[in-house]
Amino acid sequence: MGRLAPWVLAGLITACTGGGPERPSPSEPVTPRKLPGSLTPVGHEPLFDRGMNAALAVWNDFAYVGSRTDGSKGHPHAGVVVVNIQDPVHPQVVGEIGPPDEGNPSETSRELRVWPSEQLLLVLNLRCDPLIHDCDGGPMEPTIRFYDIRGKRAAMPVLVSTYHPLRQPHEFFLWQDPNDPGRALLFLSTPGNFGVDLLVTDISTAREGVFREVASWSTAFPDPGPNDDLHSLSVSPDGSRAYLAFLTAGFLVLDTSEVAKGLPSPAVRLVTPLTNRVRWPGAGPHSAVKVPGRDLVLTTDEVYGGIGPDAGCPWGWVHLIDVTDEPSPQVVSEYRVAPYNEEAYCDEVSGERDMGSSFSSHNPTVTEHLALVTWHSAGLQVVSTEDPDRPTQVAEFVPEPLEAVATEDPILSSGPDQVVMWSYPVIEDGLIYVVDIRNGLYVLEYHGPHEGEVASIGFLEGNSNLGDGS
C-alpha cells in the first residue's frame, strides 16, 4: 500500500472475540458456549512462531502463507512459507520463498491464490505500511508474481513471471473460465486510484509473462461517504456478475458478462443503479461473497480498534443481502457475535481492548447454508444461513494463543487479545484450513448442522470460483 489507506485510518479510529463468558475480560476464564455444532482441531503449524501471517492458498498437499510484514528490522521468515499438509494432523513447514523473490524490505505478500489448471501460485505484493505492519515502508512497486508449483516445485516454487499492474491493487478475485480452464481473469479492486475502481486482467499467458488489462470500471457516487473505495469483490461462477463491497458507498452488482465472454473492448455495466445501492451506518462492506445456489450475498464489515466514530466496539459484523431483484438488493438480516458486537457491551469494554484489539468480521467462505467467517479475536465463526431472516451461530473456534511470537501485529494483537483469525477459510477434502495472523495455520473439522456441505467439498474458497462454489 503506497499510502495509509482510508479504511485503515477508519480502522485505527475498531475490535471482536468469541467463545467467552457473557461479559468477558482479559482476566476471566474462557467458558465455551453450548452450540449445535463444533470445530475440532485436526492439526496446527505455528509457522516459525513468526506472527504477522497473511493470506492463505491451498493446493493438493501444500499450503502457502504470506506475510503482513517485510524483511526489514530483522523480521524472521518474512517470505511466503510453504507447508506440507499431506498429513493434515501434522502439517509441517518444508520451505520458504524468500529474497530476492519474496520477503524483501518494504513489501508484504498480501494476497495468495493457486491457479490449479496451470499449476501456478499467485502472490500479490504491496507496499507495507510502517504504522500497521511494523516494517520499513519504503517505496516499492506493487506486483503479482507467478510461481511454478508443478511436481517437486510445489515444495520449492520457482518464479516464472511478474505482472506490474498499471494501477495499485488491494485485493483480487481469481476467475477461471468454466468453459476453458486455460483461461483466467483477475478482477482487482484498485482503491485510491482516481478514475478506476475495478481492473480486469487476463492472465491466460502468465507463463509467457504476457498480461492483458482487458477492462476497467469506475463510478462517481451522487451522495459520497467518507470512504467510498472499492475494497473487495467476488464474481459469479459464470463470470456474468460481480458483487462489490464499496465500504461507505455500500454494496452493488455489476454486469461483467462481456468480460467473461472475452468480447473485444468489453463493457462493464451497472445492474444496481447507484441510487439503489445498499448502505448502512459505519465502515461499510469489506467483503461480499455470493451464497451458492441462492439469491443471497453475504458481506462482512471489518473494523479495527482505535478512536473515532467508526472504530472500536462494537466493531464489524455480517449482513445478508437478498439479490433476487438485482437492481434493488435489500438487506434481510445481520449476524453479530455476542457480546462483542452488541452496543451494550461497549459500555463495559476496557479502553485497552477497545483500542488494541479487533472483534470484527473479516473474510468469508460460504456454502449453500453455512458461512465460515474469520472474525479476528472471535476466532473462526460458523453461521447457519438456512433461514436468511435469522442467521444463527452453530460453531466457533478460538485457538489457545502461542506464548510469544517474533512480531506482534501493531494494531490487531497489541492489546489483551492474542487471537487474530484473518484469512479466507479454504476447504479441501472436507477439512477447513485457516490462518491466524499471530498463531499460524490451523486445520479444522466441522460437525453440526449441514456438515455434509463441508464434508463433501473437494475444494472451496471465498476469493475464487474454483472448486465447488458454483
pLDDT tens readout for residues 31-82: 556 899 999 999 999 999 999 999 999 999 999 999 999 999 989 999 999 9
d(CA 405, CA 268) in angstroms, rounded, equals 45
- What's the pLDDT at 9? 34
Is residue 435 one of the residues assigned to a domain? yes
d(CA 83, CA 76) in angstroms, rounded, equals 16
Amino acid present at 398:
V
Task: Please tell me the least confidently modeled range out of 31-45, 324-338, 440-454.
Answer: 31-45
CA angle 242, 53, 339 (to 5 degrees): 75
- What's the pLDDT at 21? 36
The pLDDT of residue 171 is above 90 = yes
d(CA 411, CA 252) in angstroms, rounded, equals 30
- What's the pLDDT at 18? 36
In angstroms, what CA-CA distances link 105 with 35, 76, 288?
45, 12, 32
d(CA 460, CA 440) in angstroms, rounded, equals 20
The pLDDT of residue 263 is above 60 = yes
- What's the pLDDT at 470? 53
Is residue 466 one of the residues assigned to a domain? no
The pLDDT of residue 216 is above 70 = yes
Is residue 251 one of the residues assigned to a domain? yes
Q: Count of alpha carbons within 13 Å of 6, Cβ hemisphere only? A: 18
- What's the pLDDT at 11? 35
Is residue 470 one of the residues assigned to a domain? no
Which range among 7-16, 187-196, 436-445 has the greatest average pLDDT?
436-445
Instruction: Please list the alpha-helical segments (H only) found in 166-319.
Output: 257-261
- What's the pLDDT at 192? 76
Overall average pLDDT of the 360-373 stretch: 98
Is residue 152 one of the residues assigned to a domain? yes
User: pLDDT grade, residue 194 (50/70/90)?
Assistant: low
Overall average pLDDT of the 267-285 stretch: 96
Using DSSP, state whether 262 is helix, strand or coil.
coil
Is residue 468 one of the residues assigned to a domain? no
- What's the pLDDT at 137? 86
Is residue 393 one of the residues assigned to a domain? yes
Average pLDDT score over the chain: 91
- What's the pLDDT at 33? 67
Count of domains for the chain: 1
Overall average pLDDT of the 386-410 stretch: 97
User: pLDDT grade, residue 415 (50/70/90)?
Assistant: confident
Give the CATH number for residue 391: 2.130.10.10
Tens-digit pLDDT profile for residues 98-126? 999 999 999 999 999 999 999 999 999 99
d(CA 311, CA 178) in angstroms, rounded, equals 41
- Domain of 281, in residue numbers: 6-461
* Phi (first) and psi of residue 115, to 5 degrees: -100, 95
For 179, which DSSP code?
T
Cα–Cα nearest to 44, from 453, 371, 426, 435: 435
Overall average pLDDT of the 80-109 stretch: 97
In angstroms, what CA-CA distances link 388 with 142, 321, 415?
39, 9, 34
The pLDDT of residue 13 is above 70 = no
- Give me 363's grid cell: 473474510
- What's the pLDDT at 305? 86
Distance of CA 39 to the CA centre of its chain: 20
- What's the pLDDT at 469? 60
The more confidently predicted of residues 435 and 10 is: 435
The pLDDT of residue 245 is above 80 = yes
Is residue 258 one of the residues assigned to a domain? yes
